[in-house]
Amino acid sequence: MTRSRSDLSILLVHGAFVDGAGWRGVHDLLVDDGYQVSVVQNPGASLHDDVVATRLVIDSLPGRVLLVGHSYGGSVITESGTHPRVAGLVYVCAFAPDTGESVNLLMEGFPAEAPRMTPLPARQGFIFQDAGRFHRSFGADLPGDLAAFMAHAQAPWGVEAAASPVTDPAWRARPSWYLVATEDRAIPPESQRAMATRAGSEVTELAATHAVYITQPEQVADLIERAAQGLA
């Protein structure tokens, strides 16, 4: 796609244990197609802090804003997306909580047999993933050297971020799109479908792992551009 939307900015929001650098491939594709794109670097200590950081970037962007969240970033865009200049939401295999729901609460509802990330015991209020299991759970299709680097460069994720409930879900008042990764081992695909259906999202399914935004940036960028054009 090559249509530029100069009146619409795109803001990419990362999930837990990683930073915004993983969006580089998607970012560059969108910029090449003429979009104004920014990436949030979430503090990760609490949902409140991450929402504040996201809204600060929203305030700095021109025009309307399309929020894109991966994984836990879906909770961040759900809570911050009530900002008056947010026009729509894109969930990339992400949590889409309803009022009163946290990531922890949604994870409690995952199918018992479904694979998922298993965090190490919390230390001083923060959580890490087991580095030895990171490659398989986050993205088995990642190159081995990249997965090893990411496993040993994890950003600490706050216990409070995982436990904080959403107060006013933006998807109730904003159009949304959802990419279901059918080979996800962090958020079960059936749970993704359930959240997308509840939010009334336009759903795209892709044979991909939780790391889809890194391993298949073209497909993710294509979905974001379709959402942007849908907001025209």
In SS3 terms, the chain reads as CCCCCCCEEEEEECCCCCCHHHHHHHHHHHHHCCCEEEEECCCCCCHHHHHHHHHHHHHHCCCEEEEEEECCHHHHHHHHCCCCCEEEEEEECCCCCCCCCCHHHHHHCCCCCCCCCCECCCECCEECECHHHHHHHHHCCCCHHHHHHHHCCCCCEEHHHHHCCCCCCHHHCCCEEEEEECCCCCCCHHHHHHHHHHHCCEEEEECCCCCHHHHCHHHHHHHHHHHHHHCC
Q: For position 1, what pLDDT does the model report?
A: 38
Token pair, residue 125, equals: 């209020």
Ranges in the chain, pLDDT < 50: 1-4
125: left (phi over 0), alpha (psi -120 to 50) or beta: left
Q: For position 116, what pLDDT does the model report?
A: 73
Q: Which amino acid is at 151?
A: A
Q: What is the pTM of this model?
A: 0.96
User: Which CATH entry fits the domain spanning 8-107+155-230: 3.40.50.10490, 3.40.309.10, 3.40.50.300, 3.40.50.1820?
Assistant: 3.40.50.1820
Neighbours of 151 (CB within 10 A): 20
